[in-house]
């Protein structure tokens, strides 16, 4: 019983349920002319005004300022814009626009805030920030404080299009005036590998649980290899199709079905712990769903049209490395030490699968009804 409790606490501690007010990255489209920088940011203005440290929480409900944040969500657009402009002197220093190593003052060019809708959903506003450039041709870097949360930066221009995912207060690569910086094919490929890996570890809690569900079926190599191969082939297909805009499915449909897939594999581990063609086929089908989930990340970040295939492959490689890392960590944590014990299934695999099923079931309920 002690081992069961330990396993349950380990799994629950590493896979907290995804909350309704989960922090999402802001998306900034940057235009750099010879004289000005214009940044069009899609974000939750309420999060900036409230002062919540978005770099240290994954859900705004975890912040002591969550009550104020919810009050701001209920404000009409005019009142929220007034609060933003009144607070700009505090917020502006955290928004970095620099050229040739010098910080440039920023200003609000315009704000577009939608009317109040469902207060339980994030209200995406458009904040346009501008800065004047000094004479010369020095490129520009943009970014903001880690406390403002993750930021996707995309430069608008002809030809190649730069895109980057910034976290922890990072700055973008240098963005040239009236052009786009070529950061190099290898560097860009590696950046997408890292993005794919990070989407699994530490950010992809639902994908982590699904992979753990595959792991706890059996420690034998063949069942694990067959399952992972079917899952990989499937999500590779839909990731490519979704990235090419050939297939699009709303997140309101995909996310609950991903939660249901977690429940299925975990329950089957308990009720029918063997690999058959039915399980392989179902895992393939679930892989198609997870591929659509992966594609939502690429939809936010964007892909370089000139290196579309390479960036897509890099992201997929990162996803696979993340999944293999999850399996390796699970093996080192329990499989290596207890896998050959007679009681492994009864005291480790079954309790762990039960916890995974419960978390997946909660996510399904939350994503459908809450």
Phi and psi at residue 21, to the nearest 5°: -105, 45
Which pLDDT does position 145 carry in this prediction?
94
Among residues 170, 164, 27, the alpha carbon closest in space to that of 98 is found at 170
Q: Are 115 and 198 in the same domain?
A: no
Cβ atoms of 268 and 276 within 8 Å: the answer is no
C-alpha 1/C-alpha 347 separation (Å) is 8
Phi and psi at residue 177, to the nearest 5°: -75, 135
338 in a domain, yes or no? yes
Judging by beta carbons within 10 Å of its beta carbon (0-12, 13-18, 19+), is residue 42 exposed, middle or buried?
A: middle
Q: Are 50 and 178 in the same domain?
A: yes
Which pLDDT does position 146 carry in this prediction?
93
C-alpha 232/C-alpha 20 separation (Å) is 28
5 in a domain, yes or no? no
H or E element: which one contains 108?
strand 107-112
Q: Are 268 and 365 in the same domain?
A: yes
8 in a domain, yes or no? no
| β-pair type (26-32, 151-155) | parallel
Q: Are 236 and 166 in the same domain?
A: no
17 in a domain, yes or no? no
Which pLDDT does position 302 carry in this prediction?
67
Model confidence over 245-298: pLDDT tens digits?
888 888 889 999 999 999 999 999 999 988 888 899 999 999 999 998 888 777
| β-pair type (163-166, 102-103) | unpaired
Low-confidence ranges of the chain (pLDDT < 70): 1-21, 119-120, 157-161, 178-184, 300-302, 304-306
Among residues 207, 296, 286, the alpha carbon closest in space to that of 247 is found at 296
Q: Are 206 and 345 in the same domain?
A: yes
Q: Are 157 and 256 in the same domain?
A: no
Cis omega before residue 202 (within 30°)? yes
- Give how many domains the chain has, as a whole number: 2
Q: Kindly list the distances between the CA atom of residue 28 and the CA atoms of 17, 41, 75, 171, 192, in Å, as whole numbers in the listed order.
A: 28, 4, 24, 13, 18
Q: Are 154 and 94 in the same domain?
A: yes
Which of 183, 206, 237 delimits the end of a domain? 183
Q: Are 200 and 97 in the same domain?
A: no
Does the model's pTM come out above 0.75? no
Q: Are 108 and 228 in the same domain?
A: no
365 in a domain, yes or no? yes
Which of 183, 203, 218 delimits the end of a domain? 183
Cβ atoms of 267 and 273 within 8 Å: the answer is no
User: What would the two tokens of residue 250 be?
Assistant: 């709303």
Q: Are 275 and 172 in the same domain?
A: no
283 in a domain, yes or no? yes
Range of the domain at 260: 194-369
13 in a domain, yes or no? no
Q: Are 109 and 237 in the same domain?
A: no
20 in a domain, yes or no? no
Which of 134, 152, 183 delimits the end of a domain? 183
Q: Are 201 and 226 in the same domain?
A: yes
Cross-strand pairs, 231 = none
CA dihedral (55, 368, 315, 332) positive or negative: positive
C-alpha 156/C-alpha 178 separation (Å) is 10
Q: Which residues contact 148 (CB under 8 A, 6 or more apart)?
A: 26, 47, 48, 54, 55, 94, 95
């Amino acid at each position: 019983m002690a081992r069961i409790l330990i396993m349950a606490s380990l799994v629950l501690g590493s896979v907290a349920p995804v909350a309704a007010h989960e922090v999402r990255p802001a998306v900034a489209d940057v235009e750099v002319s010879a004289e000005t920088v214009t940044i069009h940011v899609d974000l939750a203005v309420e999060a900036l005004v409230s002062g919540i440290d978005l770099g240290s929480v994954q859900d705004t409900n975890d912040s002591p300022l969550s009550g104020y944040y919810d009050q701001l969500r209920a404000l009409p657009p005019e009142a929220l814009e007034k609060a933003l402009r009144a607070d700009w002197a505090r917020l502006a220093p955290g928004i970095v626009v620099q050229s040739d190593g010098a910080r440039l003052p920023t200003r609000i060019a315009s704000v577009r805030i939608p009317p109040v809708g469902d207060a339980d959903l994030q209200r995406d506003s458009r904040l346009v920030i501008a800065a004047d450039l000094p004479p010369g041709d020095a490129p520009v870097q943009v970014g903001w404080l880690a406390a403002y949360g993750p930021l996707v930066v995309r430069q608008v221009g002809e030809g190649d299009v730069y895109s980057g995912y910034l976290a922890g207060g990072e700055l973008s690569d240098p963005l040239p005036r009236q052009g786009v910086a070529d950061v190099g094919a290898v560097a860009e490929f590696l950046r997408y590998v890292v993005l794919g890996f990070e989407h699994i570890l530490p950010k992809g809690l639902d994908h982590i649980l699904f992979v753990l569900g595959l792991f706890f079926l059996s420690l034998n190599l063949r069942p694990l290899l067959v399952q992972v191969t079917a899952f990989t082939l499937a999500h590779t297909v839909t990731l490519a199709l979704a990235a090419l805009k050939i297939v699009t499915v709303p997140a309101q449909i995909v996310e609950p079905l991903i939660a249901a897939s977690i429940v299925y594999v975990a329950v089957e581990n308990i009720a029918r712990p063997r690999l058959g063609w039915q399980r392989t086929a179902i895992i393939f089908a679930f892989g198609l769903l997870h591929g659509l989930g992966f594609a939502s990340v690429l939809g936010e970040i964007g892909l370089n049209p000139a290196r579309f295939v390479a960036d897509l492959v890099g992201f997929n490689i990162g996803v696979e490395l993340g999944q293999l890392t999850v399996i390796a960590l699970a093996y080192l944590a329990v499989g290596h030490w207890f896998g050959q014990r007679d009681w492994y299934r009864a005291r480790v695999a079954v309790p762990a699968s039960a916890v995974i099923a419960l978390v997946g079931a909660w996510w399904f309920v939350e994503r459908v009804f809450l």
